[in-house]
Structure formats: structure tokens, C-alpha cells
A and B are shown apart, each in its own frame.
Chain A
């Protein structure tokens, strides 16, 4: 059972544009929502994370928006750059730091 659904599966954005990736979850026991970035041949690396008592978190060009009542959260990448081209995973965590990942979004930023 997929407990975290992620969309879109792939995304093409022009340099300088905004990339938006959405996730929805089912398990209301989740209490931590990290986003990971993965480059080919590498393991995922933590990008930014949010707790459910906060509606938005911003770090540089990356922002998480969180809607607890809708059980949805999203990643916004402002001023997208070619170096941002990677696969992005949303995830959710509860009960002992065991991550449940979404299916991933392959982002391509065109120069």
C-alpha cells in the first residue's frame, strides 16, 4: 500500500522558472515530512523538511507548503537552475525514523 503519493512523475521547467512537486499522505500518524534530492549514481540527500505544526518552511530557493487538513504537502523550487535537475522524493516519518517515500519526480531544468 502506497501511503505517500507523489506527482508529477516527471517535470520539465525552463531555467528561472518555478518547479512544483506535490505529495499526499494517508497516515495521520506521520509527524515529519522531509524532501530528498537524488542525483544519478548517488543516494538520496536531505533537502528540506517540515513538521506538521508548521504551514510553510523556506530555505533559500526551496519552500515546503504543508496543508494538514488536506493531508498534502508540496515542494516549490524558485528560480530553478539546470543544476537542480535530479529526482526528488517526498517522504513521511513516524514511530522511529522509518521513512515512507513517494514514487519520485524526475525534474529537468532546461537552460
Chain B
């Protein structure tokens, strides 16, 4: 059984560009949540996908969008990058959307926007 994996590990973009981050969920997990972790802060919830549908969204603008595929892997897309988008992007997978289902986090993608 493999854990949650994310790609790429690091990424450097310039303002205004678009970026796609990828996440492979843990085997058997049908729910993926994405979080943004700015340097020195706690992760902030971006959105969650359950069985290929967006199941909830945090306080992030529409230029943050996502997808979940039939194999439950997921993508996070960010358009029109801003300097403040520089952060560690974490995805977490879980078996279902119950509050008590443990979320397993990947190592994250470090995005730097110049």
C-alpha cells in the first residue's frame, strides 16, 4: 500500500502564470482535500473532492480550481498566479467524508511565485 504522493516537489512560476499540481491518493481512498500552507502558518483548507465531485470549498477565489479522476487522484489548478500564492500545497486523502476519517497528508508541493 502506497501513501499519498504529490508532484512536482518544487515549482517556480512568475506572476500571471498558471500552475497544475498533482496528487495520488492512498490506495482505496475516495476523498481528496487540498490545503495551502504559507511559511510559518497552519494549513488552510482550499477544497475537497469526493468521488469526482467538489464536496466543499474554503475561502479561496475561483482561480483555484480542481479535478478528481476516476482513480481518485486529483489536480489543483491555480490561474493568474499572485506573489501571495507562494506556499506549500498539501493534499490529503481519506476514506470518505466523515469528520472522523483520518486524513493522510502527502509531502506537499512547494510553489514559489516570482
Q: Could you mark each residue 51-69 of chain B with 1 if its beta carbon is under 8 Å from any beta carbon of chain A, else 0? A: 0000110100000000000
19 contacts between A and B (CB under 8 A): A6-B42, A34-B102, A41-B107, A42-B107, A43-B92, A43-B106, A43-B108, A46-B102, A46-B103, A96-B97, A96-B99, A97-B97, A97-B98, A97-B101, A98-B33, A98-B45, A99-B45, A101-B44, A102-B42
> Smallest CB-CB separation from B55: which chain A residue?
A96
A-B pairs, top 8 by smallest CB distance, nearest first, are A43-B105, A101-B42, A32-B99, A93-B99, A96-B97, A101-B43, A97-B97, A98-B45
State the CA gap A101–B33 with chains docked (Å): 14
State the CA gap A45–B26 with chains docked (Å): 14
Chain A: minimal CB distance from B112 (Å): 15
Chain A, interface residues (CB within 8 Å), range: 20 to 34
Residue among B43, B56, B97, B99 having the largest count of chain A Cβ atoms under 10 Å: B99
Chain B: minimal CB distance from A32 (Å): 4
Chain B, interface residues (CB within 8 Å), range: 20 to 34
Q: With an 8 A cutoff between CB atoms, is A17 at the interface?
A: no
> Smallest CB-CB separation from A46: which chain B residue?
B102
Q: With an 8 A cutoff between CB atoms, is B94 at the interface?
A: yes
Interface residues of A (CB under 8 A from B): 4, 6, 31-32, 34, 36, 41-46, 51, 89, 91, 93-104
State the CA gap A51–B44 with chains docked (Å): 21
The main secondary structure of chain A at its interface with chain B is: loop
Q: With an 8 A cutoff between CB atoms, is B48 at the interface?
A: yes
Q: With an 8 A cutoff between CB atoms, is B40 at the interface?
A: yes
State the CA gap A32–B99 with chains docked (Å): 7
Chain B: minimal CB distance from A19 (Å): 18
Contact yes or no, B58 A98, CB < 8 A: yes
Chain B: minimal CB distance from A21 (Å): 12
